[in-house]
Structure 1
């Protein structure tokens, strides 16, 4: 595998502050958070595959709104069907991550994601589409970045459960934001991923951020200046990627 399976570090973090400006609508028959750029255009777009907390967590919606502010029609499909993992779970809350994973594997998630991408293309007039994936969501960016699967370019942060085969199947540019301390995407896995990408004919970028651990791009403590720098820079990494391969592509 190019990254390890999920563990408890995937479901701890900090809830961010702010108010979302988008709306929840049906996209391809499933709930999704939708937010538009200032000009109302949906030509250039991004789909976000969130981590375990799902599309309802304010962190995900604020990221979507920030992408919209940078000119991208953005949606977050409800890939967990409302069954989001509680943030900062602990055993006393009687939540079993293994059981949850059994209910929300690719067989369940892929049809939801496929329906959202199809609707974005056909119903919203999206011409170029980038994908963002955090933690387990990175797996679906890689899958849909395969040739002809729907995405034109992908950005993933602290990936979880991505297989080597999924990396080898990429058909478009990929950028990766990696944490200095990450048991699920440690240095050996980063190097394995880099070795695969080096032999492929797709543009790629791997950026390593110091002073942060797994989840930093999605649910880090932004009161820490070093962490905030990494989180904000990783977001700009994604925007720069999309500006080159979505807007200009």
Structure 2
């Protein structure tokens, strides 16, 4: 396991703005719900165009991208779960293409059923270095409005809604790409931001009523309720949001965790408690905490800061190596 790195404030810390309402606290999540990077794409790298295609599995939009030599050469099946920007984001599609270039057949489902997160971009120009009191009040009101909008959106995309959708796609994938699933000995999964929580849930031995969306994961199970076992073989998560220590503790497959130091959306105490639970259960896992980067840095997209771009590449290589090793 990699050692944690010493953290410094990210040069583009404005990108780490959170959408939590001031003073609002949530169990295990501090004051944050989602941030700019969960809901707004960075500029798409110049000259790059997605090479995969959109299709539908059980009326669910899915982006599929394949290695150039598939099916002539064997491939492994990778389920990619995005942040709030969703399946139609060019950056997310290009991210999926990068895994396909490395030999994975990638399935990226629309886990939001056609309703990606509302953008949190509101600024029309550069921020004032020392805004006036009136401007500060306006900014505060705008942030509360953004928080309310995001929280309303999150209320429509809970595990009870998302898990049945993902299980439906997985059922179709096992039929459509049985060769790739068999070649990898199961389904691999990677999740960014919002999608990270669901990689952990798919890696857990969930009760069947939870998987079917009939009960929240944290709700009390009825005695004798049947479990269904993990749906993936191996998982990777990057700067997750809305993750609890229990989500991490429930994982039963090899897991790689990419995190950001002092990330209010994935607090250190939640991450450390979850990692301790993994260690106690002797789960095969690794983690790295990246410093000097904003939440969401691992998602493909351009930054003016070359240091962030470099660490974005490092994170991809770390995540890719984990998938290939397992």
TM-score w.r.t. the length of structure 1 is 0.90
> Does structure 1 residue 196 correspond to structure 2 residue 277?
yes
Equivalent positions of 1:8-87 (< 5 A) are 8-9=35-36, 10-12=38-40, 14-17=42-45, 18-41=48-71, 43-87=75-119
The CA RMSD measured in Å over matched residues stands at 2.2
**For the structure 1 residues 189 and 32, does the alpha-carbon distance in structure 2 shift closer, same or farther, using more than 3 Å as the test?**
same
State the match for 2:251 in structure 1.
170
Please state whether the residue corresponding to 1:212 is helix, strand or coil: coil
Is contact 2:82-2:192 (8 Å) kept? yes
1:118 aligns with 2:171: yes
What TM-score do the two structures reach when normalised by structure 2? 0.70
Say whether residues 1:236 and 2:310 are aligned partners: no
Distance 1:24 1:152 in 2: 25
Cα offset, 1:38, TM superposition:
1.7
1:182 is displaced (CA, Å) by 1.2
Question: Deviation of residue 97 (structure 1)?
Answer: 0.8
Q: Secondary structure at the match of 1:33?
A: strand
Higher RCO (C-alpha 8 Å, min separation 6): 2
Match of 1:216 in 2: 297
Deviates more, 1:89-98 or 1:25-34: 89-98
User: What's the secondary structure of 1:217's corresponding residue?
Assistant: coil
The list of structure 1 runs, each at least 4 consecutive aligned residues, that deviate by more than 4 angstroms after superposition, is 1-5, 91-95
- Identify if the C-alpha distance between structure 1 residues 8 and 239 changes in structure 2 by more than 3 Å, giving closer, same or farther: closer
C-alpha distance in structure 2 between counterparts of 1:81 and 1:27, whole Å? 12
The gaps in structure 2 that reach 5 residues or longer are 1-26, 123-141, 206-228
Contact 2:245/2:270, CA 8 A, preserved across alignment: no
Q: For 2:58 and 2:92, how far apart are their aligned partners in 1?
A: 20
Report which of the two structures shows the higher radius of gyration computed on alpha carbons: 2
**In 2, are the aligned partners of 1:181 and 1:212 still within 8 Å (CA)?**
no
The worse-fitting range, judged by mean Cα deviation, of 10-19 and 77-86 is 10-19
| Cα distance, 1:21 vs structure 2 | 0.2
The size of the alignment, in residue pairs, is 245
Verify the 8 A CA contact 1:46 1:74 in the aligned structure 2.
Answer: yes
User: 1:45 deviation in Å?
Assistant: 1.2
Aligned mates of 1:222, 1:3 — CA distance in 2? 27
With 9-18 and 233-242 compared, the bigger mean Cα shift is at: 9-18
User: How far does the alpha carbon of each residue in 1:101-128 deviate from its partner, in whole angstroms, 9 at most, with x for none?
Assistant: 1111111111111011111112211223
Superposed displacement of residue 220, structure 1 = 5.3
